[in-house]
Amino acid sequence: MTQARSSILDSAPVRNAGVPGHPLYNELMAHAVGLPNDPLFAQMIASQSNEVGALPPGLGLDEAGFCALLARHFPGVELALRRCEQSNDPRTDEHDDLLQLLLDERAGRDVSELWMAHIVTAACMASDHLWQDLGLWSRDQLSRLMSDNFPALAAKNVYDMKWKKFLYKQLCEREGINACRAPSCEYCTDYLKCFGPEE
Ligand code: SF4
């Protein structure tokens, strides 16, 4: 039996239905409490409302998580929810390993790091650059997200590797796997795939 769940934000605030994109960002930020993740979540939500990015409904959080995120960062904002069908994900193991990596590396300063770990993991399941899949407005925003929420992990990206590649490489290193064909990045024919511009 397929289990239905209520998860997705349907873009606009109830009292501002139908106004997508940056106006929603402004709306959210008008209610923001002043935490570092406020503008990052606001960008993601505004982008999703505009069908930009690749995050699943509710930024990949369940309904309770998404409502808690709103209450924590944008108190007073209400977003319409719609129901969607839960599908079986064949990449569950990969998803869970990435999530565990991020949870293990969270800064431990704020509960929103937990939501961020789930959201970043959900975006890693998509196929574009990570900042684009998250619906952020630039790669710099993603670099800030990583440094604020997962500082020790982010600090390991000393050569500014593409973030999605970097996360998967961390997973391989955790498992003691070297999936790279070259002995070092310097001599690797795939260098641009790992370090090229993320635009
Ligand atoms: S550039 Fe080559 S060696 Fe370096 S991480 Fe990428 S695939 Fe591996």
What residues does each domain of the chain span?
A: 4-85, 92-195
Give the ligand 1 atom nearest the CA of 188: 2
Letter for the amino acid at 177?
I
pLDDT given for residue 59 in this prediction: 95
Contacts of 195 (CB under 8 A, 6+ apart): 159, 160, 161, 162, 185
Query: Is 180 near ligand 1, meaning CB less than 6 Å away?
Result: yes
Pocket test for ligand 1, best of 158, 169, 178 (most atoms within 8 A of CB): 169
pLDDT given for residue 95 in this prediction: 92
Kindly state the tokens that stand for 95: 């998803």
Instruction: State pLDDT tens for residues 60-83.
Output: 999 999 999 999 999 999 887 665
pLDDT given for residue 180 in this prediction: 80
Phi-psi region of 11 (alpha: psi -120 to 50; beta: other; left: phi over 0): left
Residue nearest to atom 6 of ligand 1 (CA): 194
Query: Residues in the chain with pLDDT < 50?
Result: 1-20
140 φ, ψ to 5°? -55, -35
